[in-house]
Structure 1
Amino acid sequence: MREYSSRLSCLCNLPSIAALAIALVATPAFAGTYSVAPNIAAGIVDTIPNPAAAPPGANLQSCSLKQHPYPVVLVNGTFSVMEDDFGALAPDLANAGYCVYTFNYGGSPTSLIQATGSAISSASELASYVQQVLGETRATKVDLIGHSQGGMLAEYYVKLLGGAPYVHNLVGLSPTTHGTTLDGLALLASAFPGANLLVGAACPACKDQESGSAVIQQLDNGPIAQPGVGYTIIESKDEFVVTPVGSSFINEPGVTNEYVQSSCPLDPVDHADLSYDNVTIQLVKNALSPSTAQAPNCAIAFPWPAQ
């Protein structure tokens, strides 16, 4: 399975979208009610025909909360859209009976590259979207799962925009909790065709996620974790975007901070592939439902549909 994880680093040196198709050769198909993409390369290719489309299993009007009472809201990371970031996590959670919702923010609705706008504006979009989901489902709270910038926005929304009463659990996948460097974001941009041209002035979200930015200072001023909300932060020891490794964590009482490799030491997953990693997905499920928690299957590095 290591070859699939290494595909992202290979993509960083390839000049065109056509290279993404090359990375999909011999990629296995995964069966299930909702199709699970095997890696981020597949997710990006799936996104190309319609960047505004939701990933399989997400945003379904027919979804019932009988099995899991809290709808799950997924918040993607910088440069990505909802389908290429959550092409595995969304359908996997849906296959497990969760009502999954997600949305694009911080960019043109038809663009392949989004989540680059002002972080404060994007956090406000998240706040509005949570209220929309609560209105549609009549749920009392949501579970928030944010990847990279999405995790930081979730933290910001709960702490600074009055989101705590509306959130049951917050799960961050390598969130930029304490900021990072533009070098790290430039490495991330190389995974998304054309995104490297936006780093800097054309990407307000990049500046807002820099260590020491006004947004990060607001988030880090005083406790981040808010009463009544369950917090789980998941990070890879092979992190290359949010550095130094471990800086995603919220080192406060009541917060669960865990490395993927603490469960499966040989899992080579990196930042961009976190939401496609089978071990990470199981840790997410454990955070959402501790009473049914299971040890991850370390023999399967990438997603497999729920049974």
Structure 2
Amino acid sequence: MSVRPARRHLRRATVALLAACALMAAPAAAAAAQPAAGPAGTDPVDDAKKFATPNLPGVNDWSCKPSAEHPRPLILVHGTFDAGRVWAKTAPDYKKAGYCVFSLDYGKSSGLLSLIVGGIDRVSQSAMELADFVDGVLEATGTEKVDIVGHSQGGMMPRYYMKFAGGADKVHTLVGISPSSHGTGRSDFMDALLADAPDLRALLEGFSELVPIGKFVDIPCPACTDQVSNSPFQKRLNKGEDTLPGVNYTTIVTNKDSVITPWKSQYLEGPNVKNYLLQDVCKDNFAQHNNSVSDPVATRLALNALDPEHAVTPTCPTLASSILGLLGV
């Protein structure tokens, strides 16, 4: 059997297994669906824990207290059709740098699809979930502000939180890696996003065939609609200035991005903004939209943005290692 058919059969087996597990878990899923953000409970930490990403080593330690060197907790925010597990490779880098690191799973639907992915609900609703999570992190750590590193929607949605959901005074630094800052020029956002993530696409296609949620193309994704350029959401978010006073902004983008187009639309404008193009830093960088979240140069630039006084010049990989990284080797 060739490598390609073998991988195809493996994906099908994985899809079938996950779908079977989902079906068996359906009653529990209905009873324990992701809670919608709403009126604050009696304990903001307990409210926040409902959204915390599970099983990320060193992440979401609610007893962690920030150090004098890094006085603010760091929140990692995933993108569309994803979950906090996307930070598995890089969360240890932020933890090793000395931060109290937190990660949430947000934007889940109320159906079985929430067992696989998040970041698909209305962005405005997701911003309210982030608001609950930030309040819990602040309460647990005894701090007044957080720093945020977000990927894709996760680099844009916090701007809505700061502008419309009470977060303006609670965020010190926002770093967006391939952020959908002004939306995408592609009307087929979902297809573009999943074309850049073939394994996830195969999983969702198989899931939609085996679980009665309708055809794959009919999977609801309000966040996808919100992230199309000139959508009502984007017009509201980007009316006026891109930034708010008192917050530091950094965007880290790649010109290989085929999801958020044109790629330059990811940049922000304002006196408190730094925009980086990965290929200006390392000319042989081949990071695309989805894998930019784990690109080592992007991670180094994010760490520099969080602690500019101790910035370290990124080490550019060789051309050969860049190609191998692109291939996932």
State the TM-score bracket (shorter-chain normalisation): 0.7 to 0.9
Asked whether 1:159 is paired with 2:153, we answer no
Farther off after superposition, 129-138 or 174-183: 174-183
Percent identity reads 38
* Residue number in structure 2 paired with 1:139: 143
The letter for the 1-side match of 2:246 is G
* Residue number in structure 1 paired with 2:57: 56
Farther off after superposition, 277-286 or 86-95: 86-95
Structure 1 counterpart of 2:232, from 214, 229, 232: 214
Can you list the C-alpha shifts for 1:14-64, whole angstroms capped at 9, x where unaligned?
A: 6863699xxxxxxxxxxxxxxxxxxxxxxxxxxxxxx95242221013423
Relative to its length, the structure with more helix (as a share) is 2
Can you list the C-alpha shifts for 1:87-137, whole angstroms capped at 9, x where unaligned?
A: 122111011111110111111596112111111100111111111110111
Structure 1 counterpart of 2:286, from 268, 272, 275: 268
Cα 1:120–1:146, aligned 2, differ >3 Å: closer, same or farther? same
Distance in 2 between residues matched to 1:16 and 1:214, nearest whole Å = 41
Per the alignment, in what secondary structure is the counterpart of residue 265 of structure 2?
A: coil
Can you list the C-alpha shifts for 1:56-88, whole angstroms capped at 9, x where unaligned?
A: 2210134231141110011100000101x2112
The letter for the 2-side match of 1:177 is S
Larger radius of gyration: 2
Q: Kindly report which structure 2 residues correspond to 1:1-307, keeping only aligned pairs within 5 A, or say none.
A: 17=11, 53-66=54-67, 67-83=69-85, 85-107=86-108, 111-180=115-184, 181-190=186-195, 191=197, 192=200, 193-195=202-204, 202-299=220-317
* Residue number in structure 2 paired with 1:47: none
The 8 Å contact of residues 251 and 275 in structure 2, kept in 1 or not, is answered as yes
Can you list the C-alpha shifts for 1:152-210, whole angstroms capped at 9, x where unaligned?
A: 10111112222110001010111111111243431222411444665666111101111
Per the alignment, in what secondary structure is the counterpart of residue 316 of structure 2?
A: coil
Per the alignment, in what secondary structure is the counterpart of residue 17 of structure 1?
A: helix
Runs of at least 5 residues in structure 2 that lack an aligned partner in the other structure: 15-51, 206-214
Cα 1:263–1:204, aligned 2, differ >3 Å: closer, same or farther? same
Deviation at 1:295, TM superposition (A): 0.7
The letter for the 2-side match of 1:217 is K
* Structure 1 runs, 4 residues or longer, greater than 3 Å off: 13-20, 193-201
Deviation at 1:149, TM superposition (A): 0.7
Per the alignment, in what secondary structure is the counterpart of residue 55 of structure 1?
A: coil
Aligned pairs, how many?
Answer: 260
The 8 Å contact of residues 79 and 195 in structure 1, kept in 2 or not, is answered as no
Cα 1:76–1:255, aligned 2, differ >3 Å: closer, same or farther? same
CA RMSD, 1 decimal: 2.4
* Residue number in structure 1 paired with 2:208: none
Distance in 2 between residues matched to 1:53 and 1:189, nearest whole Å = 24
Distance in 2 between residues matched to 1:94 and 1:120, nearest whole Å = 29
Q: Which has the higher contact order (CA 8 A, sep 6+)?
A: 1
TM-score using structure 2 length:
0.73
